[in-house]
Structure 1
Amino acid sequence: MAKKINVVKNYSEALNHQIFKVIAKATEELQLDSYVIGGFVRDFILQRGNAKDIDIVAVGSGIDLALKVSQLLPHKPKVQVFKNYGTAMLRAFDMDIEFVGARKESYAEDSRNPVVENGTLEDDQNRRDFTINALALSLNTSNYGDLLDPFGGLADLKSQLIRTPLEPGVTYSDDPLRMLRAIRFASQLNFVIEKKSLDAIKEHHKRIKIISKERITEELHKILLSNRPSKGFALLHKTKLLKIILPELTALEGIDEIEGQRHKDNFWHTLEVVDNISQNTDNLWLRWAALLHDIGKAPTKKFHKKIGWTFHGHEFVGSKMVFKLFKRLKMPLNDKMKLVQKMVLMSSRPIAVVDDDVTDSAVRRLIFDAGENIDDLMILCEADITTKNPRRYKKYHNNFKIVRQKMKEVEERDHVRNFQPPVSGEEIMETFNIKPCREVGIIKDAIKEAILEGDIPNEHAAARELMLSRGKKLGLKEVSKQD
């Protein structure tokens, strides 16, 4: 057990909200002791803003305390009771408040679900994952607002250190999800994981296999949404967790050299891209796209004597790998996944329209294919510039300014973004008095291709004229309204 640090500190100012007064009153009426513990206390001391999740520990029944609090609140919020875990939850003042009876836990080797017994506040603090999450503020009349800090969590907050209250090997082996949580907190807070703790994560990394994919993914999301995700992913890699969770990423590591020709390390490059994109977007799925944009390079890597290393078709292969990865990690297989696939597939397209002699049709096709995600694609491509050479960095960014300007000029003239054909399928069928058939699709495709190639403007009159011409070639006859 960590040596107790006797810090005489009162944080009653943290407990000014009405909800704490109500919990304190309920505590007194039930003749219990209760405490705010965990993230609320940690984030208040770190001045990280207003917490929306509050954990209350009662030395006694947490369920009874929750029910009493609900009775005392004017709107009598519904209490969700989880008898198996001895916990209860209610929502008040736009906050989720969870109540649990103080407890001690023991674990079986093949499960992270503990055997729970009633315990003291000290028992409850012992079971917490990190010293900074074991901090508790009293809600009792005799010492309201006093900080209880048996493991030196306050000192660890000041030192920006992630440390476990008990022996780290025991903490991580009991509940392997804590390994991911340690790395997530290090990434979110920009803290350092104590060496002894980091070594224990590496030693027990295979235990992560008993954690559900949903819980793993939840932690990955939080790491990706931190200010500098590379810190978290580098720690996942260092502790060998990443190879189990995302082997597609670790497969990118390393630099091969044949006949003096080398390629860049695509793993560390990827982490730089994720950091770059995180400066410009909070979109979780665009950050996932940055993390996965090069995963097709490992299976497509080849060496050719004349041209060196190639990764032909890595964008297409990578986009196909996204589906399998999302499915394995139990992530949504909906429009969010499709955005990531689309970004991976198109990640190299904008650079192809930089050259001075590129045609407007190539720009139109880029805008058309990207559709409503064209801005997302440009953000990803600009984040992909990781060169440390100032001249090249400036050149590449200037190239993308040229691409943006070309797209602006073409879009203002041709209105290709969110393209809708000037002539609908209904109009084609009505004009030629036909039912849905292959010919309707042929005419629609001909009109789309003509507009993208610049053969006709994106206008109804020109598109209708082409419709009539192509229909005639297909043996269709225009039916006049009089007919």
Structure 2
Amino acid sequence: MQPNYKNALSNPIFGVISKAAKELQLETYVIGGYVRDYILQRGIAKDIDVVAVGSGIALAKKVSALLPGNPKVSIFKTYGTAMLKSGGIELEFVGARKESYSENSRNPSVENGTLQDDQNRRDFTINALALSLNDATFGDLLDPFEGVEDLQKKIIRTPLDPDITYSDDPLRMLRAIRFATQLDFKIEKDSLNAISRNADRIKIISKERIVDEIHKILMAPQPSKGFALLHKTKLLKYIFPELVALQGIEEKEGQRHKDNFWHTLEVVDNIAETTDNLWLRWAALLHDIGKAPTKRFDKKIGWTFHGHEFVGSKMVYKLFKRLKMPLNDKMKFVQKMVLMSSRPIALANDVTDSAVRRLVFDAGDYIEDLMTLCEADITTKNPKKFRKYHNNFQKVRDKIVEVEERDKIRNFQPPVSGEEIMETFNLKPSREIGIIKDAIKEAILEGEIPNEYEAAQQYMLKKGKEIGLTPAV
């Protein structure tokens, strides 16, 4: 006897779908993530997949006709699917199908099939679970691959031969790792080995699809689990060779450096505990990528990574471009975080007003994000050092508040404008204007003068005289 999950179908929308299916005489089921998340008690999903043994498009149209307001049905004829939204829920309807794949594409040839065919084509046993929406069996669970048992054992496993599953659609390899990371599950041994064997197949997947999965791994509670699996299965070298290059410890003349790859994963986990800002998590992931190309050994001082922040910030652009990610303010934010990632660390032992003013001026509205990143970068296992570093960062934070309240440096513009300098010295646009403006800015940042109009005006006159300018009468 099949277990019954009628409580999972208490939302009135399921009654409407069931009625529509009965009128069309279509076998119909809820399948996939909605069923999985209900059994895991992860909250009610807002995306629901409905499979009909017959036309999913016809079922979607009938459901729309039965719903108040007849919500719009979006039809995707190529895939034989249809979507509609109702009451904050997004429903996707598809006809049961079986699929066959060619070697160079993840887009299958599709033909009509049975529910069993449809469950066979699913990526994982835990996503092949189906609940009946048919009158006689409403709420019955159909679990042909023991997916419920896999949920209980916290296992990711493919319904069929994993080599075929992953070779057919290589995106499933990333999805396996993403689900293992999000749910804190293990990938079953045969399935994990199959990912390693098929890793090079990821090359046929679009960059956009890959990045979408990486985003979801990054937003998991413990992203390091996903990146460790990407590394273990050799997928990482196809996606982020810059990260793979950080792995390993080298020793020369008795001096070693830390493994910057595993350190990076610790930083990402640390920052995941404090922020849900996806792009700040990206900054944590990429903050040390400049260390591989800048690594040098100096007999006097040991291993160095001079300028790795600058080199890393340039690498961010190349990486974003290669992965077809946005080359906009989000990319610039990540670049800025990488470029400035060592600045607060350098300040921590000598917290001067002028250094903090420069830090706040350069970081602008991102000063809090920068401090969050730097605190996540503390991965020492020595409790005494850990406390010391955090205490030092607290001093920097306190000084930032003090300097901000007094000097109003964040995003400031020099109190004297370029137009006023031109008028004062009867100048046309010229380099002298820039010299004076920069001098005023530097004087304020160094604490020579307060960030006030009268002091800046007097400094303008002084600087103008120094470079041979005479005020207009």
CA distance in 1, matches of 2:218, 2:44: 22
In structure 2, what is the equivalent of residue 187 of structure 1? 181
In structure 2, what is the equivalent of residue 227 of structure 1? 221
In structure 1, what is the equivalent of residue 18 of structure 2? 24
SS in 2 for 1:49: coil
In structure 1, what is the equivalent of residue 414 of structure 2? 421
Aligned length: 473
Residue 380 (structure 1) shift = 0.5
Residue 472 (structure 1) shift = 4.0
CA distance in 2, matches of 1:355, 1:260: 28
CA distance in 1, matches of 2:164, 2:437: 66
Residue 424 (structure 1) shift = 2.4
SS in 2 for 1:9: coil
Q: Answer yes or no: is 1:176 the counterpart of 2:165.
A: no
In structure 1, what is the equivalent of residue 291 of structure 2? 297
CA distance in 2, matches of 1:50, 1:73: 21
Which one-letter code corresponds to 2:110 in the other structure? V
SS in 1 for 2:325: coil
Cα distance per residue 1:259-284 (max 9 Å; x no partner): 11100000000000000000000001
CA distance in 1, matches of 2:422, 2:90: 57
Runs of 4+ aligned residues of structure 1 deviating over 6 Å after TM superposition are none
SS in 2 for 1:54: strand
CA distance in 2, matches of 1:437, 1:24: 76
1:381-392 to 2 correspondences below 5 Å: 381-392=374-385
In structure 2, what is the equivalent of residue 3 of structure 1? none
1:314-333 to 2 correspondences below 5 Å: 314-333=308-327
Among 254, 262, 280, which residue is 2:274 paired with?
A: 280
Cα distance per residue 1:229-258 (max 9 Å; x no partner): 000000000000001110000100000011
Which one-letter code corresponds to 1:134 in the other structure? A
CA distance in 1, matches of 2:417, 2:424: 11
Residue 146 (structure 1) shift = 1.1
CA distance in 1, matches of 2:58, 2:416: 67
Q: Percent identity?
A: 75
Cα distance per residue 1:424-457 (max 9 Å; x no partner): 2333344445444333322221111110011100
TM normalised by structure 2 equals 0.97
CA distance in 2, matches of 1:348, 1:39: 42
Cα distance per residue 1:140-187 (max 9 Å; x no partner): 111111111110011111111000000111100100000000000000
1:129-148 to 2 correspondences below 5 Å: 129-148=123-142
In structure 1, what is the equivalent of residue 196 of structure 2? 202
Gaps of 5+ in 2: none
In structure 2, what is the equivalent of residue 454 of structure 1? 447
Cα RMSD over matched residues?
1.4
1:82-481 to 2 correspondences below 5 Å: 82-356=76-350, 358-474=351-467, 476-479=469-472
- Residues 440 and 202 of structure 1: CA distance in aligned 2, closer, same or farther (over 3 Å): same
Cα distance per residue 1:350-393 (max 9 Å; x no partner): 0111224x431111111111111000000000000111111111
Residue 470 (structure 1) shift = 2.7
SS in 2 for 1:408: helix
Residue 478 (structure 1) shift = 4.1
Residue 80 (structure 1) shift = 1.1
- Residues 461 and 197 of structure 1: CA distance in aligned 2, closer, same or farther (over 3 Å): same
Which one-letter code corresponds to 2:134 in the other structure? N
SS in 2 for 1:42: helix
CA distance in 2, matches of 1:220, 1:430: 55
Which one-letter code corresponds to 2:119 in the other structure? Q
CA distance in 2, matches of 1:22, 1:467: 75
- Residues 49 and 432 of structure 1: CA distance in aligned 2, closer, same or farther (over 3 Å): farther
Gaps of 5+ in 1: 1-6
CA distance in 1, matches of 2:312, 2:61: 52
SS in 2 for 1:97: strand
Residue 398 (structure 1) shift = 1.0
Which one-letter code corresponds to 1:415 in the other structure? K
CA distance in 1, matches of 2:253, 2:120: 58
Cα distance per residue 1:9-58 (max 9 Å; x no partner): 11111111122121111111111111111111111111112212111101
Cα distance per residue 1:45-97 (max 9 Å; x no partner): 11112212111101110011111111111122111111111111112212221
Which one-letter code corresponds to 2:448 in the other structure? D
Cα distance per residue 1:315-370 (max 9 Å; x no partner): 110000000000001111011111111111111100111224x4311111111111
CA distance in 1, matches of 2:364, 2:468: 34
TM normalised by structure 1 equals 0.95
CA distance in 2, matches of 1:201, 1:14: 33
SS in 2 for 1:8: coil
Residue 475 (structure 1) shift = 5.0
CA distance in 1, matches of 2:414, 2:330: 26
CA distance in 1, matches of 2:381, 2:32: 41
In structure 2, what is the equivalent of residue 49 of structure 1? 43
CA distance in 1, matches of 2:138, 2:419: 73
